[in-house]
Amino acid sequence: MKRNLVLVALFFASAANSFSQSVVETAKKERARQQAVNSKVVVTSNTRTANSIESGSTANASAKASAASTQTKPAEKPAGIVDKNGHDEKFWRAAFQKARDDAQRTAARVELLDLKIKQLNTQLLQDSTIYNRENVIGAELTTAQKDLEQARKEADLAKKKISDLEDELRRAGGPAGWAR
């Protein structure tokens, strides 16, 4: 019985080892393929690549000169898109990021206070070393519950702020992608 178990374990170990090597080889091949696909650079509008223009024996000198001048010119930035209020993408992304950070912070505070209340409830039920535990722990529990209620209101306001920003962006005529 033990011998069969050892043989089965040995079989699975060798199979796992050979599989992991093939995955690594496959990943290397895929990475090399992607680099080969992404290495082509389109230089002119007739979709010739920079490599084919330079290596082609039939290409004339003017094509080579125009390709070289195109490669050396820095890419000009297109004019920035703005909404009806004059705000650009950077403004909206910063506003949404701040709103999301606030929502995340308030959600974490709600979760923390909820855990504190659970801990205090457990302590109230289990701690028998305190003579008057209802008055001692009960006061802390009441305070924590009030804080939790306030934190939940703040979390709701933070979520509402995000939806208000989305509405404001939509009314301002900005692309929806700026909210991401």
Res 136 pLDDT > 50: yes
Question: What is the mean pLDDT of the segment spanning 35-49?
Answer: 57
Q: Where are the domains of the chain?
A: 2-72, 89-179
Tokens representing 136 are: 């001692």
Report the distance separating Cα 90 and Cα 168, nearest Å.
Answer: 15
| % of the chain surpassing 70 pLDDT | 70
Residue 21's pLDDT is what?
A: 61
* Three-state DSSP string of the chain: CHHHHHHHHHHHHHHHHHHHHHHHHHHHHHHHHHHHHHCCCECCCCCCEHHHHHHCCCCCHHHHHHHHHHHHCCCCCCCCCECCCCCEHHHHHHHHHHHHHHHHHHHHHHHHHHHHHHHHHHHHHHCCCCCCHHHHHHHHHHHHHHHHHHHHHHHHHHHHHHHHHHHHHHHHCCCHHHHC
**Residue 53 CA: distances (Å) to CA of 37, 63, 73, 166, 169:** 17, 8, 17, 48, 46
pTM of structure? 0.51
Residue 59's pLDDT is what?
A: 42
Average pLDDT value over all residues in the chain: 75
**Residue 96 CA: distances (Å) to CA of 85, 160, 174:** 16, 12, 13
